[in-house]
Structure 1
């Protein structure tokens, strides 16, 4: 049913819950998982380290994706990519390019006025995606 699952991550507990859920789905459906971190090109993230200009968001993305891929069980077909761009557009374009049948994303579970005033990436992906989007809420501690 879901041959390819895309899981955007930002390293948060909500994203970790989404990765864990995607791994369970992949195990049951024999799916491949693509974990993706989007370095938001709308934010200034260049810095200098050891005389070399680097993108701090891309560096963070490499670590976040590596940790997410490591969360998967052995035998799970999982890969990771760090991309740059507008998060919503980049996630949707990436999902289309890999032929994704499902996007699995974490949600902060905002309530009340915050939900209407603060448009989240997850909410925008849900509204604009041409494939199903499964939202996963992290367990409250």
Structure 2
């Protein structure tokens, strides 16, 4: 029934709560678990991330183009992104090691979290997504949005959600 299960993780308690459920499903169905971390890329240090927007690095009117203003220095952004991707690789490697005898594949992608999850699921013919929630309710969830909620609403495959603190 389920041959490929996607376990997106950000290393949080919510994601941790879903791991045992995912492991149990993988063992039950002999499924391959795809452990995914999506590194969100944000603009470097400010309002815009592309130097083409302003024609140069730095703030408007920065004659030297030093890159030390609202646009920022792309090198710093690349270093930050490399650190985020390294962190993601550590998270997926550690998570994959906890799946005992289940076959695992790990991936780190860049982009918006919910889109990265949905794109990965489609590209790898995923049969089910197992992911945690952060347990936000009410106004917090409404204002902050929820990656899990977006995946549930937009996914073409079943999504099992596990609230932080729930036992498998």
SS in 2 for 1:130: coil
- Whole-angstrom CA distance in 1 between matches of 2:96 and 2:110: 19
Map of 2:33 onto structure 1: 33
- Whole-angstrom CA distance in 2 between matches of 1:91 and 1:43: 21
Q: State the Cα RMSD in Å.
A: 1.6
Q: Which runs of 5 or more structure 1 residues have no equivalent in the other structure?
A: 49-53
Map of 1:106 onto structure 2: 132
Map of 1:51 onto structure 2: none
1:47, CA displacement in angstroms? 2.4
- Whole-angstrom CA distance in 1 between matches of 2:105 and 2:19: 12
Map of 1:87 onto structure 2: 113
1:43, CA displacement in angstroms? 5.2
Is the contact made by 1:36 and 1:83 (CA closer than 8 Å) also made in structure 2? yes
Larger strand share, 1 or 2 = 1
- Whole-angstrom CA distance in 1 between matches of 2:157 and 2:9: 18
Map of 1:116 onto structure 2: 142
**Superimposed CA distance per residue, residues 66-89 of structure 1 (whole angstroms, 9 cap, x where no aligned partner):** 11011111x211121111112111
SS in 2 for 1:136: strand
78, 88, 102: which one pairs with 1:46? 78
- Whole-angstrom CA distance in 2 between matches of 1:99 and 1:108: 26
Number of equivalenced pairs: 134
In the TM superposition, structure 1's runs of 4+ consecutive aligned residues that sit over 6 Å from their partners are none
- Whole-angstrom CA distance in 1 between matches of 2:116 and 2:13: 22
TM (norm. structure 1) is 0.87
Is the contact made by 1:88 and 1:124 (CA closer than 8 Å) also made in structure 2? yes
- Whole-angstrom CA distance in 2 between matches of 1:28 and 1:86: 31
Map of 1:71 onto structure 2: 98
- Whole-angstrom CA distance in 1 between matches of 2:155 and 2:126: 11
Distance 1:121 1:29, change over 3 A: same
1:4, CA displacement in angstroms? 0.6
- Whole-angstrom CA distance in 2 between matches of 1:59 and 1:93: 21
**Superimposed CA distance per residue, residues 81-119 of structure 1 (whole angstroms, 9 cap, x where no aligned partner):** 111112111110100111111011110111222122221
